Amino acid sequence: MHDVGRSAFSNFEGSTGKNELTSHLLERDKLMPLYMAKRQDDYTSTAPFNVFVGTWNVNGQLPTEPLDAWVSSEATPPDVYAIGFQELDLSKEAFVFTESSREEEWMRAVKQALHPGASYKLVKHIRLVGMMLLVFAQDRHLQDITAVASHHVGTGLLGKMGNKGGVGIRIMLHNSSLCFINSHLAAHLEEIQRRNQDYEDICSRMKFPDPEGQSISVFSNDVLIWLGDLNYRIDKLPLETVKERIEKGQYEKLKEHDQLTNQRREGNVYPDFEEGDLTFRPTYKYNPGTDEWDTSEKCRCPAWCDRILWKESAKAKLLKYQAHLSLKISDHKPVSAVFKINVKVINRELYRKVYEEEIRRLDRMENEWLPTMVLNQHSLEFGTVKFQQAVQRTVEILNTGQTPCHFEFIGKLGEKAFCKPWLTVGKPKGYVLPGDKLVIEFEVYVNKNTAPSLNKEEDKIEDILILHLVGGKDFFITVNGKYSPSCFGTSIEALCWMKKPIEQMDRKELTRLVWLFKSRDWQVNNEKHHSSQMLNVPKELWRLLDHLYQYARHQPDLFQQPGLHEELKMIQENLDSQLPTVGTPLPGSNHSVAEALLIFLEALPEPVIPFEYYNMCLQLYNNYDQGQELIHKMPPHHVNVFNYIISFLQELPKYEENGLNLHLLATIFSGLLLRPSSVQRKQNTEGRMDRMKATSFIEMFLKKKLIE
């Protein structure tokens, strides 16, 4: 199921469509074991388990005598057995071949000797050349044994050969880990250092894989039991004295010369291990088949070569430590130790309860750590919005969570932009630290690009913004406002139809008009028919030009100085709300009125020379007759406006103070009267040349009429 989890996660997308993993969800399977380990005491109780540990160097012999006297020496049947052998097979082949018939024979011998008071099964066995370790457990415990693993470490020649070294088995018994190491360390009296080194090597190289895929060292276990032919000898004492002390049972005194005891006391090997009292005869070296000490040529000094050590004493208590002298086939005697190990037993009901508690805590933690913010308002009311008049609102966001917030405005399904084109957001993405505030500015600004669809009510000042917290919730911010239609951004035809100021028009009628005049058919078929009911040119345009002619024709730098924003706003409002009255000038300075004219022309959804004539006009930039012909093919009101503006502009250079000449006027107005649509602009690559042609085209008209 692990792979299933992974693949599921890889499809797990955040709201932005990126692979946005929320908090540390992925880590749960890693975290839960740690949290559960911490709570272990809450769902486990300890139960004593009887563990029998045996070790025997069998000197390459076959099991020709029964092992009961060693393996079944206890009255009560042990719960778990760990039996280790050394020198199982001394043949040369055993170094090379991994198969060994001795393995089977000895295993069978052990099985036959297991305590008759219970039924056992082999949990695991491992062999490295002559070293074999077998772990058995009573049938009733098998279901509680998990994570069984084994490993071997050779410390022979090249640090690899398996004639010396160790084999290990690790099991989880209920919730306690038990580790058994069976080792055969370097031989010979003087090789203390090598034995110590073998121990170090086994410790550092013995690793058990656990189900999580990590490797566990021998020391990361509740109980570690080390058995084997450790080969430490009795030294600095004459052979006869050794034998004499043994005969007198003076093991305590003899122990003073035991290398292992001394090395341990000096801290050179097996630090922090425990060993039981040596109250038995040394287990090496006997004449095979007897209880007599070695009488061979070498005449080895007796030694406690075969030992069992363990840690920790808090979790394992030694009940018995002894040698079994009645077994005679080897030159070693087998040794056994019986432990009472306090095993942590899981109470399934409690485990489940604690598990649920912990997982709830993780849920809670995760929920608490989700990024979260508070907004001082969720809806933005922009009120009445007018053409090119920016309205600002703000939202204050406060990070009330415990983690930094990474916020970002995101688009709705199928929409590329996260907001309408007339809205800009001051900070579309960013970070807020816990406890900090941030003010986000929103500005609605309707320009010539966005005005037409608002005029048509194709679009409204309405939007829902999604403020997304990365890894957290999404807020909705609603945007509302009322677009007040303006003559700016309204078509020439619609304006010619309106006898009233645009603000006094019925909204529905207005929308109908805007849609109506958009249709080409209407222009072709009905415009002439209706033109008697329509104004010749938009009254707003008339007011602007009339004002300029009357009051501004002597104005120095006319059309070359920008207007004032406030005045532009007043002019726009005046045009949108007032009917022209004779003798009442527009508000604002001459420069402002001049700029208002430019803005008016720029905002026309269809310019004075409609887009479809643009390319043709450019081609006729030096051909007045055909140009004139083309202009007269335009819709009548466009023709009117064109002629009206041209004749107005022609008047201006007559007044020297304003500093205007025809070329300058053509340059200023050609970009407004004769301009490409956005599509055309993209198609025409020679922008600079096109602009020059457009200027020439307009200038040609300005000049021509003058000459006539």
What DSSP assignment string belongs to 307-324? EEEEE-TTTEEEEEEEE-
**Minimum distance from CB of 355 to other proteins (Å)?**
5
Q: Which amino acid is at 579?
A: L
Owner of token pair 């022309």: 601
Residues making contact with other proteins (CB under 8 A): 1-2, 4-5, 8-9, 12-13, 15, 22, 25, 28-29, 32-33, 346, 348, 351-352, 355-356, 359-360, 362-363, 366-367, 370, 378, 412-413, 464, 466, 472-476, 478
Which CA distances in Å does 142 have to 135, 405, 641?
12, 51, 100
CA angle 333, 120, 178 (to 5 degrees): 70
Q: For residue 450, what is the DSSP state? A: T
Q: Give the nearer residue to other proteins in terms of CB position, either 347 or 384.
A: 347
Answer for the pair 95, 53: CB distance below 8 angstroms, yes or no: no
Strand partners, 446: 387
Question: Torsions phi, psi of 630, nearest 5?
Answer: -65, -45
Q: Give the nearer residue to other proteins in terms of CB position, either 359 or 662.
A: 359
**Minimum distance from CB of 357 to other proteins (Å)?**
10
| Rounded Cα–Cα distance for residues 662 and 649 (Å) | 8
Q: Give the nearer residue to other proteins in terms of CB position, either 25 or 689.
A: 25
**Minimum distance from CB of 3 to other proteins (Å)?**
9
444, burial (CB in 10 Å: exposed 0-12, middle 13-18, buried 19+): buried
Single out the residue of 218, 200, 194 nearest to residue 208, CA to CA. 218
Single out the residue of 37, 131, 49 nearest to residue 84, CA to CA. 131
Q: Give the nearer residue to other proteins in terms of CB position, either 331 or 463.
A: 463
**Minimum distance from CB of 401 to other proteins (Å)?**
12
| Rounded Cα–Cα distance for residues 344 and 146 (Å) | 13
Q: Give the nearer residue to other proteins in terms of CB position, either 115 or 344.
A: 344
**Minimum distance from CB of 413 to other proteins (Å)?**
5
**Minimum distance from CB of 51 to other proteins (Å)?**
23
3-state secondary structure of 495: helix
Q: Give the nearer residue to other proteins in terms of CB position, either 232 or 418.
A: 418
**Minimum distance from CB of 144 to other proteins (Å)?**
11
Tokens of 144: 């509680």
Q: Give the nearer residue to other proteins in terms of CB position, either 38 or 654.
A: 38
Q: Give the nearer residue to other proteins in terms of CB position, either 121 or 412.
A: 412
User: How many whole angstroms from its chain centre is CA 243?
Assistant: 72
**Minimum distance from CB of 467 to other proteins (Å)?**
8
Strand partners, 407: 430, 469
**Minimum distance from CB of 351 to other proteins (Å)?**
6
For β-strands 306-311 and 274-275, DSSP reports them as: antiparallel
Q: Give the nearer residue to other proteins in terms of CB position, either 285 or 420.
A: 420
Q: DSSP strand E in 445-510: where?
A: 462-469, 474-483
Tokens of 656: 């020297």
Q: Give the nearer residue to other proteins in terms of CB position, either 6 or 108.
A: 6
**Minimum distance from CB of 396 to other proteins (Å)?**
15
Q: Give the nearer residue to other proteins in terms of CB position, either 28 or 205.
A: 28
Q: Give the nearer residue to other proteins in terms of CB position, either 230 or 397.
A: 397
| Rounded Cα–Cα distance for residues 180 and 221 (Å) | 10
Q: Which amino acid is at 414?
A: G
**Contacting residues for 208 by C-beta, under 8 A, at least 6 apart:** 149, 150, 151, 168, 170, 179, 215, 216
Taking CB atoms within 8 Å and a gap of at least 24, the contacts of 212-218 are 212/33, 216/149, 216/170, 216/177, 218/168, 218/179, 218/181
CA angle 244, 249, 255 (to 5 degrees): 85
| Rounded Cα–Cα distance for residues 363 and 470 (Å) | 18
Q: Give the nearer residue to other proteins in terms of CB position, either 118 or 362.
A: 362
**Minimum distance from CB of 137 to other proteins (Å)?**
19
Dihedral sign from CA coordinates of 625, 626, 631, 632: positive
Q: DSSP strand E in 236-305: where?
A: 274-275
**Minimum distance from CB of 135 to other proteins (Å)?**
22
Residue 38, preceding bond cis, omega within 30 degrees?
A: no
**Minimum distance from CB of 406 to other proteins (Å)?**
16
Single out the residue of 271, 38, 274, 82 nearest to residue 171, CA to CA. 82
- Residue length, the chain? 708
**Minimum distance from CB of 254 to other proteins (Å)?**
50
Q: For residue 77, what is the DSSP state? A: P
Q: Give the nearer residue to other proteins in terms of CB position, either 3 or 266.
A: 3
Single out the residue of 492, 575, 570, 571 nearest to residue 538, CA to CA. 492
Q: Give the nearer residue to other proteins in terms of CB position, either 434 or 636.
A: 434
**Minimum distance from CB of 37 to other proteins (Å)?**
13
